[in-house]
Chains A and B, each alone.
Chain A
Amino acid sequence: MQPFTSLSSRTLVLPASNIDTDQIIPARFLTTTTRSGLGRHLFADWRYQPDGTPRADFALNQPGASACRILVTGRNFGCGSSREHAPWALLDFGVRAVVSSEIADIFKSNALKNGLLPVIVDEPTSAWLIAHPGAEITLDVARSLLTRPDGTAVNFPLEPFARHCLLRGLDELDYLLERSGEIEAFERRA
């Protein structure tokens, strides 16, 4: 994984709350055996008409959307299925961070394992971000700080371990493999 220290980008905004992983990537696109190429199916049923043509009014189809690295959404983003295809599709589209007032547990865990930053902010900050699509904001991983265009900043929660892994581009699997001695000891006790 690439180290993730900070990110400045204009935001893409999807104001809906409870955006589930079936919306992020519908199940019919899960019949793949790889992680790549899922970006074209991201939000497929919101992004395209039934005949496959893009819906002009959808945020991801606006000019400049593909350059946005930060997705802002209503509360409880990523609920539902555990499919890791959801963060894979977001990353493949170019999104590196999701900002919401609440993010579902499994999605959050999957996101962090792929270097997609889950940013949980208070309701007023979330409301401001939703009301200002395209705002240029900065996310600082080391300081867990989200900075708005006017310079006001808010902290967001980030596990020390997750921060450590993001900043250094570390993989949890390496950490677990280094613990094989402890795991063997546990197996002998059990």
Chain B
Amino acid sequence: MAPAPQTLFDKVWQRHEVSAGNADCPAVLYIDLHLIHEVTSPQAFTVLRERGLRVRRPELTLATMDHSIPTLTAQVFGGAPIALDSAARQVRALERNCAEFAVELLGLTHRERGIVHIIGPELGLTQPGKTIVCGDSHTSTHGALGALAFGIGSTEVAHVLATQCLLQRKPRALAVNVSGSLRAGVSAKDLILAIIARLGVSGGTGHVIEYRGETIRALDMDERMTVCNMSIEAGARAGLVAPDETTYAYLAGRPRTPRGDDWQRALAAWRELPSDPGARFDREVHIDADGIEPMITYGTNPGMAIPISGSVPERPGDAALARALSYMGLSAGQPIREQRVNVVFIGSCTNARLSDLRAAASLLRGRRIASGLRMLVVPGSQQVKRQAEAEGLDRVFLEAGAEWRESGCSMCLGMNGDVVGRGEYAVSTSNRNFEGRQGSGARTLLASPLTAAASAVRGRVTDPRELM
């Protein structure tokens, strides 16, 4: 009898089972790549120290700094002290922990440093078929290359450091099939916001998503990463896209991909990974890309998104909506276009790759941001920053009146002092519009780099197609 057809997720999972789960015990899952950063790793190293344990496979572990570090050049390279003492302590703790446990660190001034989910693919460490974890929920980003990648807590960071394994129950499989073509001015960010609006913020709970269909196949790698990045905003721990020629072309020649015969062997193995015809998913959802408009959020979770031509929903008696609108200072029925904007943030692991910066710059070239508006552009990595500067994108942003920073998570979560003020409206290319996410009392509207840039020019929420 032929073996049962398997999904991409089934294959990656099965190949990493040290022991399969049973009714009494979860599976022991082997982890191929463990990424760590300064905010969720210190407590894990404390566990190792308390118990006299070593890092089992330091060569499968890579550390960097992104969450709490400054983005001001003077504090990164200029010798000025890190303004936040607590952040400086986390930086020093990670340096000390990596030295003591022999873990490679791409530290504050390293030329390959960046947001952890941007540098993994950029370095070619993220590869099809790998299991990848990090103490950060947006680890789902790496699934864009056909890896099974998910966020974990600090206790699990300690488990992986000590054993290179995790105890896991296998999640269910959800296929999100997307057909049709994205229209001009509509980006991968709009697609994933539309998908989350459809699934709801807990629609993917307990599932791993595979994004499938002609629309997904037509996306480039940066776009696939934007889509997979926000899987967690639908509650799914992981999101994957099957590897294909786009994936292999992206990976070829990157610093940490296999070389020569090893590359050929890797390629042959990767070609076996896509879901078999007839493979069964526990659930399937269909999305028509043709009808998607630029999307923007109006509320306090990423599922509260509407087309940019739309109005804030009116649902009398919906307490959650009323609460969100009260926080946001928006009225039911109000057209979202024309809402005034105080801050625009281009950055984060969702939308701070070179193509995102190019998109934003394409609308800002020869234009100025609105008077009184603050715009922060934070590249996803130092490599993205250098590439952008080589193309002159930094000049476009600076001449438009925006700030151009060193890489990091920055205003996505406001840990490092890059925050949106109380009551201010920010159009942000990041991933979360939760209350206070970008600063206490900050009001976040999530959108694409194109929409963010257009809104910066007008000082109001703006459909980017009006400026294209």
Interface residues of A (CB under 8 A from B): 15-18, 20, 22-23, 26-28, 30-35, 45, 50, 74-76, 79-84, 87, 102, 104-106, 109-110, 113-114, 159-161, 164, 172-173, 175-177, 179-180, 182-183, 186-187, 190
**B87 CB, nearest partner CB in chain A, Å:** 6
A176 to B24, CA, bound (A): 15
B30 located at the interface, meaning its Cβ lies under 8 Å from any Cβ of chain A in the complex: yes
| Chain B interface residue number, banded | 35 or more
B435 located at the interface, meaning its Cβ lies under 8 Å from any Cβ of chain A in the complex: yes
Query: Do B440 and A20 touch across chains, with their CB atoms under 8 A apart?
Result: no
A172 to B26, CA, bound (A): 11
Query: Do B152 and A26 touch across chains, with their CB atoms under 8 A apart?
Result: no
Query: Do B28 and A179 touch across chains, with their CB atoms under 8 A apart?
Result: yes
Contact with A along B23-51 (1 / 0, CB 8 A): 11110101000000001101100110001
Name the residue on A nearest B84 (C-beta): A31
Query: Do B23 and A34 touch across chains, with their CB atoms under 8 A apart?
Result: no
Contact with A along B397-434 (1 / 0, CB 8 A): 00000000000000001110000001000000000101
Q: Which residues of B contact A80 (CB under 8 A)?
A: 137, 232, 432, 434
A16 to B28, CA, bound (A): 36
Q: Which residues of A contact B162 (CB under 8 A)?
A: 173, 176-177
**B272 CB, nearest partner CB in chain A, Å:** 16
Query: Do A31 and B39 touch across chains, with their CB atoms under 8 A apart?
Result: yes
Q: Which residues of A contact B155 (CB under 8 A)?
A: 84, 110, 113-114, 172-173
**B232 CB, nearest partner CB in chain A, Å:** 8
Name the residue on A nearest B41 (C-beta): A33
Name the residue on A nearest B171 (C-beta): A105
**B151 CB, nearest partner CB in chain A, Å:** 4
Query: Do A173 and B159 touch across chains, with their CB atoms under 8 A apart?
Result: yes
A32 to B415, CA, bound (A): 11
Q: Which residues of B contact A176 (CB under 8 A)?
A: 28, 159, 162-163, 165-167
A183 to B19, CA, bound (A): 9
Q: Which of B152, B235, B432 contacts A82 (CB 8 A)?
A: B152
B339 located at the interface, meaning its Cβ lies under 8 Å from any Cβ of chain A in the complex: no
Q: Which residues of B contact A183 (CB under 8 A)?
A: 18, 28, 30, 56, 163-165
The A-contacting residues of B in range 132-182, CB under 8 angstroms, are 135-137, 151-156, 158-159, 162-167, 169, 171
A104 to B231, CA, bound (A): 13
* A-B residue pairs, 7 tightest by C-beta: A31-B86, A84-B153, A33-B42, A110-B153, A82-B151, A76-B202, A82-B137
B301 located at the interface, meaning its Cβ lies under 8 Å from any Cβ of chain A in the complex: yes
**A165 CB, nearest partner CB in chain B, Å:** 10
**B124 CB, nearest partner CB in chain A, Å:** 20
Main secondary structure of the interface of B (DSSP, over half): loop
B436 located at the interface, meaning its Cβ lies under 8 Å from any Cβ of chain A in the complex: yes
Query: Do B167 and A175 touch across chains, with their CB atoms under 8 A apart?
Result: yes
The A-contacting residues of B in range 104-138, CB under 8 angstroms, are 135-137
The A-contacting residues of B in range 370-389, CB under 8 angstroms, are none
Check A27/B18 contact, CB under 8 A, given A18-B201, A83-B40, A106-B137. Answer: no
A173 to B159, CA, bound (A): 6
Q: Which residues of A contact B436 (CB under 8 A)?
A: 22-23, 26, 45
Offer 15 A-B interface pairs, CB within 8 angstroms, sorted by A. Answer: A15-B319, A27-B415, A27-B437, A33-B89, A50-B440, A76-B201, A76-B205, A79-B201, A79-B235, A81-B413, A84-B153, A104-B205, A172-B159, A176-B166, A179-B18
A145 to B18, CA, bound (A): 33
Query: Do A16 and B26 touch across chains, with their CB atoms under 8 A apart?
Result: no
Which of A81, A164, A172 has the largest count of B CB atoms less than 10 A from its CB?
A81
Query: Do B320 and A182 touch across chains, with their CB atoms under 8 A apart?
Result: no
Contact with A along B313-351 (1 / 0, CB 8 A): 000000110010000000000000000000000000000
Query: Do A33 and B90 touch across chains, with their CB atoms under 8 A apart?
Result: yes
Query: Do A31 and B87 touch across chains, with their CB atoms under 8 A apart?
Result: yes
B93 located at the interface, meaning its Cβ lies under 8 Å from any Cβ of chain A in the complex: yes
Check A16/B202 contact, CB under 8 A, given A23-B435, A31-B90. Answer: no
A106 to B166, CA, bound (A): 13
A129 to B93, CA, bound (A): 43
Query: Do B40 and A104 touch across chains, with their CB atoms under 8 A apart?
Result: no
B64 located at the interface, meaning its Cβ lies under 8 Å from any Cβ of chain A in the complex: no
Q: Which residues of A contact B71 (CB under 8 A)?
A: none
B441 located at the interface, meaning its Cβ lies under 8 Å from any Cβ of chain A in the complex: yes
A35 to B41, CA, bound (A): 11
Name the residue on B nearest A48 (C-beta): B440
Q: Which of A31, A106, A179 contacts B165 (CB 8 A)?
A: A179
Q: Which residues of A contact B434 (CB under 8 A)?
A: 20, 22-23, 80
Query: Do B18 and A182 touch across chains, with their CB atoms under 8 A apart?
Result: yes
Name the residue on A nearest B21 (C-beta): A161
